[in-house]
Amino acid sequence: MIPIKTLEKEHRIIDKFLDALERLAGRIRLYRQVDITILMKSLEFMKHFTDRCHYQKEEDIIFPEMQERGLSPNYGPLGVLIHEHEAERAYARQIEEGLKRWQDGESEAINDIINGLVNYVTVGREHLQKENNILYPMVKKIFSGKGNKKLQSDFNQFEQRKMGGSLCCKYHNLADDIDKSILN
């Protein structure tokens, strides 16, 4: 499998997770109740898979390659993608802080949780679309032949370094688990 397929597969998993998160936001809004277990699992997935495994892999390996080819990290397409990663981290923090306040008895904090979830899903979907349609086709052109071997080796080293030897794919099951929990 060429390495960009790893990133595309991660996108499909994140996309499925975003669909589940949208259903979760709808349920919380309807019942004015938070399922703490599912929300904690969702936060774990956002932090460890979407952010640590995926966004940081792009930031450590893919984005610097684009910068070397003249794209600015401050504006234009790359600047927007970096900004969206930061926005997603901020929404995840908003959801986590809202959950703590809600558990402490602040009932209005439920609105911060709902808004954080809705914004996380909206920006997340737009982000995946941009990368699928603009960034990844560029990456495919840049990395071919020997470039693919280097990219795969960079990905492997990244997982060793960031994940302490454990693998990002262990979170794939968590996405399925969350997806099934929110269907019921």
Binding residues vs Fe ion (CB under 5 A): 58, 131
Nearer to Fe ion among residue 101 and residue 136 (C-beta): 136
State the Cα–Cα distance between residues 181 and 24, nearest whole angstrom. Answer: 10
* C-alpha dist (Å) from residue 35 to 5, 29, 38, 171: 34, 12, 6, 20
Nearer to Fe ion among residue 116 and residue 124 (C-beta): 124
- Residues 6 or more apart in contact with residue 71 via CB below 8 angstroms: 77, 78
Least separation, in Å, of the C-beta of 131 and Fe ion? 4
Nearer to Fe ion among residue 11 and residue 101 (C-beta): 11
Least separation, in Å, of the C-beta of 130 and Fe ion? 8
Nearer to Fe ion among residue 24 and residue 135 (C-beta): 135
Least separation, in Å, of the C-beta of 50 and Fe ion? 9
- Residues 6 or more apart in contact with residue 60 via CB below 8 angstroms: 154, 158
Least separation, in Å, of the C-beta of 134 and Fe ion? 11
State the Cα–Cα distance between residues 94 and 175, nearest whole angstrom. Answer: 21
